[in-house]
Structure formats: C-alpha cells, structure tokens
Amino acid sequence: MRTVVAALALAATALGLAPAVASADDPEFPRNGIIPPGTYLISRNPSNVVGSPIENCELQVFVDGRTANLVCGGSFRAGHQTPVGTDETYVAFDGLPVGLDLRDIDPRQGIWSGTLNIANTPIIAPYPLAGVTLLRRN
C-alpha cells in the first residue's frame, strides 16, 4: 500500500512540475500561440494558386507580444495579435475587416503559416486562394 501511495505522490509531483517546465521562458519557442518579436517576410503559401495582396510585405511583431504592424512598400497598418491556442494566433489590423489566422510550423526557425480571416474570427479563406507563409528575417 505504501508503494502505491508513494507512486501516486511521485506521479502527482511530476504532473505538477510539467506545466512549469513547459512554460519556461524560451524566446525562440512561442508560448500560447504568440508570434515572437521580429520581422517576418510574408510569402505565398505553396498551396496558394492565386497569390496574395500582402505577398512580399512584412509583419513586424514587437516585444510586448501584442503589437504587430503590416508593412507593404512605403505604407504600414498598425495591428495586434491575439493568441487563440498553443500554436495559433489571429492578427488584426486597424480599420481592416480582414486579418490573418496563423499557426506555427517551425517556431525555432521563425516559420508560420496561415490564411486570411475575417478579423479576430475563425472564419478563414481557403488556403488555395489566400494561404501565406511567414519567415522571420531577424
């Protein structure tokens, strides 16, 4: 009986420590779906056969974990990201009805993939029509 109690106590301790280990600060690996700070080049996703109006633009993500700007040529649109899962975030831009629904593909390499969405909703455009890939530049 003591062995069973000891095993249960050990298992409970291990499970109690797991979230602390998983949430440890690692700037290279996003937590809670937050795109890490940096500048990301937006390119066409391989499944996108149409192209994208934001292709070759940049997404600038700031250290506050929320602010994100879309920069296209000489213009920019302020915005913010809202995590919606451990590997997903919505990026909405001020004054625009559409945003981005992004998922991490390889966060250590700064690679995210997604598509356009109705801002801050799970309603997305099909990848063959609007899929994008983000690659961290810095």
Q: CA-CA distance, 86 to 25, in Å (whole number)?
A: 15
What count of other Cβ atoms lies within 10 Å of the Cβ of residue 52? 20
Q: CA-CA distance, 74 to 126, in Å (whole number)?
A: 28
User: Is there a contact between 127 and 115 (Cβ–Cβ < 8 Å)?
Assistant: yes
Q: What contacts 24+ positions apart, CB below 8 Å, involve 115-123?
A: 115/45, 116/52, 117/90, 119/90, 119/92, 119/93, 120/82, 120/90, 120/92, 121/90, 122/84
Q: CA-CA distance, 12 to 129, in Å (whole number)?
A: 48
pLDDT tens per residue across all 138 residues of the chain: 444 333 333 333 333 333 333 344 555 565 578 898 999 999 999 999 998 889 999 999 999 989 999 999 999 999 999 999 888 999 999 999 999 999 988 877 889 999 999 999 999 999 999 999 999 987
Given this model, what pLDDT does residue 27 score?
A: 58
